[in-house]
């Protein structure tokens, strides 16, 4: 089926298809549902308190597995390593606070779990492509089209899709190479 459609697909898309073909050992469907349920609990805990520190051993305790097993299983189950998932939640929350409140950016940086304004600004720009202040200005200019969707779900819908490591995004930006845009990978 892919062969038939490949002519019309951009090259990045094909690479994505190849990369995402699951290895037999890493097929998420082969994971024990009971383990997945406990991994979900750790993910929920990060969701509920993304501003807190979540070292792997703390998450592993929530899931009742060893730290090494946790990191591997979490990535297999949810497609991203736990620390990167946490990063997407922090960016999502910072985005909401920038958009919906008048709190100073420094305050938002600390409230969402960063240790310095500099790290926050740099990471935010690396992930979203714009600075916190630019994002705030743009979000306020845009009409609220999502008013009928429950706020909690809107928030999740605006979570960045971090399919590559932030360091990798940085490297590509420095190289001037583009890699596969995150949004295309998700489609």
Partner 1 sequence: MIQGVQEVGLYVRDQDEALAFYVEKLGFRVHTDVRNGDYRWLTVQHPDQPAFQLGLFTPGPPVHDEATAQTLRAIVAKGAMPPLVLSVSDCRAAYERMRALGVEFTQEPVSRYGNVDAGFRDPSGNGWKMIEARR
- Is 4 one of the binding residues for partner 1 (CB under 8 A)? no
125: Cα within 13 Å, side-chain hemisphere: 10
Least Å distance between CB 9 and partner 1?
Answer: 26
d(CA 70, CA 56): 7
Distance of CA 144 to the CA centre of its chain: 23
Which residues are CB-contacts of 165 (< 8 A; sequence separation ≥ 6)?
84
d(CA 156, CA 11): 29
How many angstroms separate the Cα of 37 from the Cα of each of 14, 43, 44, 63, 152?
Answer: 32, 10, 10, 8, 21
- Is 9 one of the binding residues for partner 1 (CB under 8 A)? no
List 7, 24, 142, 150, residue binding partner 1 (CB under 8 A):
150
What does the per-residue mask of binding to partner 1 show for 100-139, with x meaning CB under 8 A? ----------------------------------------
What does the per-residue mask of binding to partner 1 show for 43-72, with x meaning CB under 8 A? xx--xx------------------------
Least Å distance between CB 29 and partner 1?
Answer: 4
Binding site residues, partner 1, CB under 8 A:
28-31, 33-34, 36-37, 39-41, 43-44, 47-48, 77-78, 150-153
């Amino acid at each position: 089926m892919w062969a038939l459609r490949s002519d019309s697909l951009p090259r990045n898309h094909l690479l994505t298809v190849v990369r995402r073909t699951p290895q037999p050992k890493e097929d998420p469907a082969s994971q024990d549902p009971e383990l997945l349920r406990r991994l979900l609990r750790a993910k929920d805990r990060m969701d509920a308190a993304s501003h807190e520190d979540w070292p792997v051993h703390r998450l592993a305790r929530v899931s009742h597995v060893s730290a090494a097993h946790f990191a591997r299983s979490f990535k297999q189950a949810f497609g991203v390593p736990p620390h990167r998932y946490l990063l997407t939640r922090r960016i999502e929350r910072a985005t909401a606070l920038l958009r919906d409140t008048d709190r100073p950016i420094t305050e938002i940086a600390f409230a969402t779990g960063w240790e310095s304004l500099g790290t926050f600004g740099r990471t935010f720009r690396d992930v979203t492509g714009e600075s916190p202040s630019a994002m705030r200005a743009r979000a306020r200019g845009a009409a609220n089209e999502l008013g009928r969707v429950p706020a909690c779900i809107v928030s999740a819908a605006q979570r960045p899709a971090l399919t590559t490591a932030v360091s990798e995004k940085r490297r590509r930006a420095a190289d001037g190479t583009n890699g596969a845009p995150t949004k295309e990978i998700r489609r």
